[in-house]
Amino acid sequence: MLLNVKESCVSKAISRKLTPEIWSPPTGNNLKFNVDGTTRGKPGPTGIVGVLGNSQGRILCLFSAFVGSHDSNADEVMAIHKACVLCASNHLLTGRNIEFASDSLMAVSWINNASVIGNLKLINIIYDIREHLQQFEGWTVIFNSRETNSEADILA
């Protein structure tokens, strides 16, 4: 399911809610964007997905896209990038605290640690993610185990 974030994200909520048993909600008025990627082969056809939810578990936005042929670390970085681009393009979200959650420890460490370059093929995307993150009131990019990232994992 692909939504046009500029028109649909936040302005109208999706009726389905995230369940706390398989998804840990953000605190307070914060938002959480769970992302995931899936690759068939090394490299192989790659898809990315994301689910943006609020502290009440309401789904505010979903995305899903085919992004070519990549490896498993690249798909996670691309999913985080897509989530950042979508949020940065919506003026209702840039002033919010947003938590981006991925089940790739490698991708999260590449984005969070400025001294880590990561995969040289992804360096421009990683720098672009870091630039987009600066537009938000507050942000975190965190590692979530596959079990607590299951809403995105199911879509992937």
What tokens were used for 90? 């919506």
Give the residue numbers spanning the domain of 40.
5-155
Q: Per-residue b/e over 39-48, b at no fewer than 16 CB within 10 Å? A: beeeeeebbb
Give the count of domains, the chain.
Answer: 1
| CATH, residue 77 | 3.30.420.10
Q: Which two tokens stand for residue 12?
A: 């109208």
Which pLDDT tens digit goes with each residue over 17-67?
A: 666 556 788 888 899 999 999 888 788 898 999 999 999 989 899 999 999
Task: Sheet containing 97-102: give its strands across.
Answer: 59-70, 44-54, 31-39, 97-102, 138-143
Work out the burial of residue 35: count CB atoms within 10 Å of its CB; fewer than 13 is exposed, 13-18 middle, 19 or more buried: buried
Q: What is the DSSP letter of 85?
A: H
The pLDDT value recorded for residue 20 is: 58
Task: Report the pLDDT value the prediction gives residue 86, as an integer from 0 to 100.
Answer: 94
Least confident residue range of 74-78, 115-119, 130-134, 149-153: 149-153
Residues 72-113: pLDDT tens digits?
A: 888 999 999 999 999 999 988 888 899 999 989 999 999 998
Residue 108 is predicted with a pLDDT of 94
Is the Cβ–Cβ distance between 41 and 28 less than 8 Å? no
